[in-house]
Structure 1
């Protein structure tokens, strides 16, 4: 059973999180706003830390994955840069939290869907994106489905080179540098549904 160490801001929250997780995980220990997280977890043999935002102290020297419960999304990038692997809102459901802990332990990063856009959409945009051609929208829809260049080429009966050209054109018109950014912006513009 996965061992979770809970670090909370209050005894009430600590008890609530313990009750919420105890049927799916072994609670390796818990602490309320410890002066040092590494000291608090030292003898716990925890596989993952569940941490409340308001209970954060020093995150240096923490080598096990951290799932952070956050009350606002404004500092997500900063937390990810500090080594926190997954970030969810304080009001996350039990099922979402359980799956996020498992995914984090598997090496994945988990973010609440409402917060993902803030990480990928550029903050400065000179104007509205240039309209895409019907074929580019079709390619963008397939990107949203997670299809690779070869699969898109086969599906549209095109060469991979032509698909790469369409993707390059999409990136240029939307002023983005990744498939994820293109899909998010395409959804915002109403060209695709997620």
Structure 2
């Protein structure tokens, strides 16, 4: 690890945002060798992350895509709109090229899979800290949507409630709810607004 750390400053402050406490603890241990004076703060949701950012400046934020209160991409987009300059890398269990592309489009400097081992993780974090943007995998993956899901997504973007969507498509409201649940899971979101926003980021709308 010495070769990796020589180009980094002796002191760094990182913010790790993930809703799993055990993962945060393991991540902190894996990153500990980065530099002699590494200060790590953790947050388990968007609210805690924003509170940390009001108190301190950070050299890097590692952000999970799935948070309990606000989707990671939505939070990243909010920071970009606020003009926040802190570098952000996405750290996620997702292996979807669509998620990678959406993260980079939203302003992330890299997408690091949670499946990475400690050495690969530290190398990726080091590259981002040194100003690199981690390369994205080749694009070309198509949206994993059925024609019905695409129809529902378009009507959702028009602001229609479930009842109106069900009437327009001639299916039950329960069917609409089932499709929406699948869309929410696919897009890692918890609200209708976030669903539309994430779909636009991926170019589905």
TM-score range, shorter chain: 0.5 to 0.7
> What SS class does the counterpart of residue 35 from structure 1 fall into?
helix
In the alignment, structure 1 residue 37 sits paired with structure 2 residue 36:
no
Unaligned runs of 5+ in 2: 1-10, 143-205
Report the CA distance shift for 1:52/1:104 in structure 2 as closer, same or farther (over 3 A).
same
Q: Is the 8 A contact 2:61 2:89 kept in 1?
A: yes
Q: Distance in 2 between matches of 1:11 and 1:100?
A: 22
In the alignment, structure 1 residue 104 sits paired with structure 2 residue 128:
yes
Unaligned runs of 5+ in 1: 124-194
Q: Distance in 1 between matches of 2:91 and 2:23?
A: 11
Query: Greater CA radius of gyration, 1 or 2?
Result: 1
Q: Is the 8 A contact 2:14 2:60 kept in 1?
A: yes
- Superposed CA offset, 1:76-100 (max 9, x none): 1111111111101111121111121
Shift of 1:43: 2.0
Q: Distance in 1 between matches of 2:56 and 2:119?
A: 24
Match of 2:75 among 52, 58, 79: 58
Q: Is the 8 A contact 1:52 1:68 kept in 2?
A: yes
**Structure number with higher helix proportion:** 2
Shift of 1:20: 1.2
Q: Distance in 2 between matches of 1:38 and 1:64?
A: 12
Give the aligned length.
118
Q: Distance in 1 between matches of 2:141 and 2:47?
A: 37
Match of 1:69 among 91, 96, 101: 91
In structure 1, what is the equivalent of residue 105 of structure 2?
81
Shift of 1:36: 6.2
> What SS class does the counterpart of residue 39 from structure 2 fall into?
strand
Structure number with higher relative contact order (C-alpha < 8 Å, ≥ 6 residues apart): 2
Match of 2:18 among 8, 11, 14: 8
Q: Distance in 1 between matches of 2:53 and 2:40?
A: 9
Q: Distance in 2 between matches of 1:109 and 1:5?
A: 18
Q: Distance in 2 between matches of 1:72 and 1:35?
A: 26
